[in-house]
Amino acid sequence: MAHPIPSLTQLQLPPVEEYRKRKVALISGITGQDGSYLTELLMEKGYDVHGIIRRSSSFNTGRLHHLYEDQHERPTKFKLHYGDLSDSTNLVYIIAQVKPTEVYNLGAQSHVKVSFEMAEYTGDVDGLGTLRLLDAIRTCGLENHVRFYQASTSELYGKVVETPQSETTPFYPRSPYGVAKLYAYWIVVNYREAYGMYACNGILFNHESPRRGRTFVTRKITRAAADIKLGKQSCLYLGNIDARRDWGHARDYVEGMWMMLQQEKPDDFVLASGETHPVREFVEKSFNYAGIQLKWEGSGEEEHAIDVQTKKVVVRVDSRYFRPAEVELLHGNPAKAEKALGWKRRVDFDSLVKEMVDADLKAAASLVEDQN
Ligand code: NDP
Ligand code: GDR
């Protein structure tokens, strides 16, 4: 039986024009929020989609279940490969095996607060991991064949230098995560300039959805609003509720990623809603949609919100969730992407909050039903 992993000396490549007639995407971070939406989009567009997943002691493919078909029945256009951005050899093998036409590097330790606790690991995966993936493409001799998308972030802006933030705003990251992503941003620019690679940075502002990880603030809030409404939780504890973010819907943003790789020339683009809202407003709107009207009382670390109807405290500030250095204000300017790519977000702030609260109310209600 032929070994499934080809050795590099056996890698036979057709001419670039021939090679690029195929539509084969490779996604790192496929099990995450964005990975699942991007997979749906690319499959709709007729791509073969390959994803890199980490070995885990429990299932980590929950966001992909609806896309997965049993490979034993018939060949599918969706395939998962074990791998890790910290393992160069493995990345080279995956690239050699898949021979992708587009690579989306979404894999990362993506939690800003956790990056203060796991700074070296975050630097390794989010910074050097990007270099490893770019170099795996070069090692396979595919630098002229492959288009590369890097998940860059508005966390690069960090401390406010100017607003709204655009492609020309200077960077000033405020966390080990932001600093690691700064390395990744520049190595992408460098490989584009040094080796002529088609490589783009999407500088994406916060984007959310019902599939958002539960420890990010939006999802933490919408789950709590649903659980408190259904009597399954009594209080939500949050950190800095005055931080402001520019929030959009993940489904809109993954479309922008794909658009960046369909241009004639590679470039870097901001994707943002162009609006900024405080965390406090996200809390108020979410609870309102869930049917709980809030009234704020106290100030600073003593600040809390009561449910106007029951008079119970349902939101409290807890300094455990403060960060050693905070990004106070993000407000993006997506004009370049709107003009050059024709990208436009579809889901506005209120619709995003509503969709997330509705999904969490439904999930919480079905759990309550199961328990009865
Ligand atoms: P998630 O945290 O939901 O997903 C991160 C993904 O990366 C998961 O699939 C995770 O795998 C994978 N991953 C983590 N560590 C490694 C590793 N060592 N090797 C390979 N894969 C790894 O993030 P999002 O989907 O929200 O974001 C996607 C990307 O976009 C990330 O790079 C993030 O930093 C960036 N970004 C996100 C924004 C947002 O608002 N969502 C905004 C701007 C940038 P596992 O499931 O096994 O943990
Ligand atoms: P962020 O997202 O740090 O912007 O990074 P997160 O939702 O974690 O925080 C947003 C803001 O809310 C404040 N906050 C809290 N945050 C969390 N997680 N938990 C809390 O209890 C809480 N209370 C207040 C935070 O201090 C912060 O100001 C996200 C990630 O997806 C990154 O990977 C991505 O690059 C950026 O968005 C753009």
Mean pLDDT of 127-132: 98
Task: Tell me if residue 163 is catalytic.
Answer: no
- Quick one: pLDDT at residue 7? 65
Residues 63 and 71: their CA atoms lie apart, in Å, by 18
Residues 347 and 204: their CA atoms lie apart, in Å, by 15
Residues paired with 103 in a beta bridge = 26, 148
What confidence category does residue 68 fall into, taking pLDDT thresholds of 50, 70 and 90? Answer: confident
Q: Which residue has the tokens 């209600």?
A: 365
Residues 77 and 36: their CA atoms lie apart, in Å, by 15
121 pocket-lining for ligand 1 (C-beta < 6 Å): no
Mean pLDDT of 199-225: 98
Q: CB-hemisphere CA count at 13 Å for 198?
A: 17
pLDDT digits (tens, 9 = 90+) for 311-339: 999 999 999 999 999 999 999 999 999 99
Question: Where in the chain are all domains bearing CATH 3.90.25.10?
Answer: 217-244+278-327+348-371
Q: What percent of the chain has pLDDT over 70?
A: 94
Q: What percent of the chain has pLDDT over 90?
A: 91
- Quick one: pLDDT at residue 371? 65
Helix (H, G, I), strand (E, B) or coil at 103: strand
Q: Which of 2-11, 166-175, 232-241, 273-282 has the lowest mean pLDDT?
A: 2-11
Contact 151, 108 (CB under 8 A): yes
pLDDT digits (tens, 9 = 90+) for 82-129: 999 999 999 999 999 999 999 999 999 999 999 999 999 999 999 999
- Quick one: pLDDT at residue 12? 85
Centre of ligand 2 from the C-alpha of residue 334, in Å: 21
- Quick one: pLDDT at residue 201? 99
Q: Whose CA is nearest to atom 36 of ligand 2?
A: 206
Q: Return the CATH number of 217-244+278-327+348-371, one of 3.90.25.10, 3.90.580.10, 3.40.50.300, 3.40.309.10.
A: 3.90.25.10
Closest atom, ligand 1, to C-alpha of 85: 19
What confidence category does residue 1 fall into, taking pLDDT thresholds of 50, 70 and 90? Answer: very low
- Quick one: pLDDT at residue 72? 67
Fold held by 14-204? Rossmann fold (3.40.50)
Residue in 143, 155, 208, 255 annotated catalytic: 155
Separate counts of helices (H) and strands (E) for the chain:
12, 15
Residues paired with 198 in a beta bridge = 147
Task: Tell me if residue 177 is catalytic.
Answer: yes
Contact 268, 200 (CB under 8 A): yes
Question: Where in the chain are all domains bearing CATH 3.40.50.720?
Answer: 14-204
- Quick one: pLDDT at residue 372? 58
Q: Which of 235-239, 299-303, 312-316 has the lowest mean pLDDT?
A: 299-303
Task: Tell me if residue 153 is catalytic.
Answer: yes
Contacts of 116 (CB under 8 A, 6+ apart): 175, 176, 323, 324
Helix (H, G, I), strand (E, B) or coil at 20: coil
250 pocket-lining for ligand 2 (C-beta < 6 Å): no
pLDDT digits (tens, 9 = 90+) for 155-184: 999 999 999 999 999 999 999 999 999 999
Global pTM? 0.96
- Quick one: pLDDT at residue 182? 99
278 pocket-lining for ligand 2 (C-beta < 6 Å): no
Centre of ligand 1 from the C-alpha of residue 152, in Å: 11
Which of 216, 221, 246 gets mutated to test ligand 2 (max ligand atoms within 8 A of its CB)? 216
Q: Where does 81-216 have alpha helices with state H?
A: 88-98, 112-117, 119-122, 129-139, 176-195
| Average pLDDT in the chain | 95
Q: Whose CA is nearest to atom 28 of ligand 2?
A: 243
